[in-house]
Amino acid sequence: MTITLQGVLIWLVVGAIAGWLAGQIVRGAGFGLVGNIVIGIVGAAVASLVLPRVIAFGTLDPLLAMIIYATIGAVIVIVLLSLIRRAA
């Protein structure tokens, strides 16, 4: 498997969009541009482990499906991070 510049740019854009959307969904949980990208990419990884078995977006545009998966995963990550913050 080779990683191309285009693939990395798509990861960054999808991560930024998903992180921003997750920050809007979970109020008061914005992490800035870089933080949103990281949360979005981590959220995409979480979603790839959990969601394909639960939700299928087979009829959607692949880019839109990636953004939806990454956003749902990023919301999960933000909620877990906020729970850890409160416990500490």
Tell me the percentage of the chain whose pLDDT exceeds 90.
0
Smallest Cα–Cα separation from 68: which of 84, 46, 44?
A: 44
Total number of domains constituting the chain: 1
User: Does 5 reside within a domain?
Assistant: no
Which tens digits make up the pLDDT trace of 1-44?
677 899 888 888 888 888 888 888 887 666 777 787 788 888 88
Domain that holds residue 28: 13-87
User: Does 6 reside within a domain?
Assistant: no
User: Does 7 reside within a domain?
Assistant: no
User: Does 49 reside within a domain?
Assistant: yes
- Under DSSP, the state recorded for 88 is -
How far apart CA 39 and CA 26 sit, in angstroms, is 13
User: Does 1 reside within a domain?
Assistant: no
Q: What is the pLDDT of residue 58?
A: 64
User: Does 4 reside within a domain?
Assistant: no
User: Does 81 reside within a domain?
Assistant: yes
Could you tell me the pTM of the whole model? 0.79
Q: What is the pLDDT of residue 57?
A: 61
The average confidence (pLDDT) of the chain is 80
